[in-house]
Amino acid sequence: MTILRLGILFSTSGDYGVLGRDCRDGAMIAIEELRGVSSVSIEPVFGDPGGSSERYIELARKMLLEDGCRHVIGTVTSQARKDVIPVIEKHDALLWYVCPYEGFEANPNVIYTGACPNQHLLPLFEHMLPVYGRRVYLTGANYIWGWEMNRLAREIVTEAGGEVVGERCLPIGDTDVDRIVAEVVARRPDFILSNMLGPSNHAFLRAMRELGRRDPAFRPERCPVVSCDLTECELPEIGFGVADGQLAAASYFDSLDSVANRVLKAQVATQFGSERRVSSYFATSYATVRLCVEAVTRRGTDDPVKVRSALSALETPGPLGLLRIDAATNHASLPFLLGRISGADFVILQSRPATAADPYLIHRRTAAQPRSAQPHLRIVS
Amino acid sequence: MKGTLSFLGKRAIILHRPGDTTDRLVRQCLLLGLCAEARWRPLRAVEDVDIVLVDADEGWDELLPWTSAEKPAPLVALLASEAPGRIAWALDQGADALIAKPVTASAVYPALVMATRRHAEARQLNERIARLEERVRLRPLVHAAVRTLMTVDGCDENEAYGRLRREAMQTRLTLEQTAASILASAQRHAG
């Protein structure tokens, strides 16, 4: 029997612990489901770095050196991923990364099953700009995700002839959103992109709710807050109803109607109770563990090079649809869904079939940019 | 230049012995939309190339067909050694950026962007310096034209210089070209 020692490295405590807990739980459900069924014996090794870079590195090193792991599923933030990658590279292991991120990376030792901008931000803005308008306010967490998503959003808005009416980032964990709200009031954007994380984002959504009560011009139907990382798992923390009407892009929502999703949700209800919703973090982590185990099964070994080489021939069905990894980029093809918050759920407003990831956005100018947007104005030399 | 740089359809040549280093570089180049060729023989001046990566550990002068000053494309040095001689060689070739060996995936895109930007900036600076040098070289002409105008129009130096500038602006010529034409016409009158 092939043994797969799988490092499960998510910050389940700390500022964004709720995301890490969904990632961990998704992985655990997959492991439970495969126990006794799969020809691979999965031995999970858990680690909670609590959001600290040093702990991420220490725990990754321990998993690879002491626990005998050659595969690690984990890291939530891009900061953590970039901290862990050198350790993974050094030991010729594979990191399975399941969260949406800002792109501009394609490491041979990482399998990316979270969406990158051509799978979330670009289609989101293609929808938002014509429908709501081209005056946009940008907010984000003060680290690479917030910076890069806002930079890209600014490029898209400017190219479309629109205007970024303001931009402000908050340190992770900071809930002092008054200044952002004051700027929103003064500058009256058509919509707001939030790349904030956890408590900052929750405070901001609560403040926008208050603002909408005072002035209907700032209600979600007129001036929505959109994001690429807000999912079901944060709605209980924000408070049900508080963020109703706000929008989010994701490659999965709990409300998705498919056979594979009903199967997953039934298991989640058994394990965690019927109140528990499945987020894209949860579902992606679940699907990624299944994919990893399938590749290990095919090759009969957990050798990372062999496992990676098995991926491109696999099309594993699951809650995200058919999960396929591109051999060149190591990224998953993923669908795009646009959801509107309603209570504990997202109502799916729009969906697009799975698209291959374009991590360096090399096809953006030709594919996503409308012909009318004066492509000759760019200096290319 | 400030936006996200796209390398789609551009051509990279990697001058390095084939092996793990070139495999990694070619992989990342392809991901960036570049068409990449790795080889270990000199580049020819006629070859069409948008970016060159060169092994600075074992590179020799004839590997590149141009001097640093005439370098037509951005140049990235690939370097494992810390030897001052090899660093100097990379600098002498006009390297715009550096990728340390062994090559990590995340080192490639930043180096290509930096080299492209640095090369473009250096080119603009060189053009600007050439223009300014030309003007310095022709400064005596401007002085001579001002003196001529002072004599012909009976005005002071400031006034003469002002006239020269106005004339240059109206005719959309440089100050030096205008000065030359004033001197030529003064000579004709004198002759």
Same topology for domains A2-114+257-333 and A118-254+337-377, yes or no?
A: yes
CATH number at residue B112: 3.40.50.2300
Question: Kindly report the CA angle at A75 between A72 and A77, in degrees rounded to 5?
Answer: 160
Co-location of B85 and B162 in the same domain? no
Q: Which residues of B touch A (CB under 8 A)?
A: 1, 3-4, 6-8, 24, 27-28, 30-33, 104-106, 109, 120
3.40.50.2300, 3.80.10.10, 3.10.20.30, 2.60.40.1120: CATH of A118-254+337-377: 3.40.50.2300
User: What distance in Å separates residue A143's CA from the closest CA in chain B?
Assistant: 18
Total domain count, chain B: 2
Co-location of B124 and B142 in the same domain? no
Residue among A107, A362, A379 minimizing CB distance to B105: A107
Residue among B3, B4, B105 minimizing CB distance to A106: B105
CATH architecture of A2-114+257-333: 3-Layer(aba) Sandwich (3.40)
C-alpha to C-alpha distance for A120 and A108, rounded to whole angstroms: 23
Q: Is residue B6 domain-resident?
A: no
Tell if the CB–CB gap between A104 and B1 is shorter than 8 Å: no
Q: Pick from B79, B100, B128: which residue ends a domain?
A: B128
Q: Which residues pair with A192 in a beta bridge?
A: A137, A225
User: What distance in Å separates residue A204's CA from the closest CA in chain B?
Assistant: 29
Domain ranges for chain A:
2-114+257-333, 118-254+337-377
Co-location of B15 and B81 in the same domain? yes
What are all long-range contacts of B137-145, with beta carbons under 8 Å and residues at least 24 apart? B138/B176, B138/B179, B138/B180, B139/B176, B141/B176, B141/B179, B141/B180, B141/B183, B142/B175, B142/B176, B142/B179, B144/B179, B144/B183, B145/B178, B145/B179, B145/B180, B145/B182, B145/B183
Co-location of B51 and B108 in the same domain? yes
Q: What pLDDT does A368 receive?
A: 43
Whose CA is closest to A164, among A201, A191, A143? A191
Q: Is residue B1 domain-resident?
A: no
Q: What pLDDT does B191 receive?
A: 61
Q: pLDDT digits over B31-89, tens only? A: 999 999 999 999 998 899 999 999 999 999 999 999 888 899 999 999 999 999 999 99
Co-location of B70 and B153 in the same domain? no
Tell if the CB–CB gap between B4 and A152 is shorter than 8 Å: yes
Q: Is residue B5 domain-resident?
A: no
Tell if the CB–CB gap between B6 and A362 is shorter than 8 Å: yes
- pTM higher than 0.90, yes or no? no
State the residue range of the domain holding B103.
11-128
Q: Which residues of chain A neighbour B31 with C-beta distances below 8 Å? A: 106, 328-329, 359-360, 362
Whose CA is closest to A149, among A134, A179, A174, A169? A169
Task: Print pLDDT tens along chain A (381 aa).
Answer: 899 999 999 999 988 899 999 999 999 999 999 998 999 999 999 999 999 999 999 999 999 999 999 999 999 999 999 999 999 999 999 999 999 999 999 999 999 999 999 999 999 999 999 999 999 999 999 999 999 999 999 999 999 999 999 999 999 889 999 999 999 999 999 999 999 988 999 999 999 999 999 999 999 999 999 999 999 999 999 999 999 999 999 999 999 999 999 999 999 999 999 999 999 999 999 999 999 999 999 999 999 999 999 999 999 999 999 999 999 999 999 999 999 999 999 999 999 999 999 999 998 864 344 444 333 333 433
Q: Pick from B78, B93, B128: which residue ends a domain?
A: B128
Tell if the CB–CB gap between A364 and B6 is shorter than 8 Å: yes
CATH number at residue B178: 1.10.10.10
Co-location of B76 and B111 in the same domain? yes
Closest residue in chain A to residue B6, using alpha carbons only: A362
Q: Pick from B107, B128, B149: which residue ends a domain?
A: B128
pLDDT of B28 higher than 90: yes
Tell if the CB–CB gap between A105 and B28 is shorter than 8 Å: no
Co-location of B142 and B101 in the same domain? no
Q: Is residue B21 domain-resident?
A: yes
Co-location of B98 and B18 in the same domain? yes
Q: Is residue B48 domain-resident?
A: yes
ipTM exceeding 0.85, yes/no = no
Q: Is residue B83 domain-resident?
A: yes
Co-location of B103 and B154 in the same domain? no
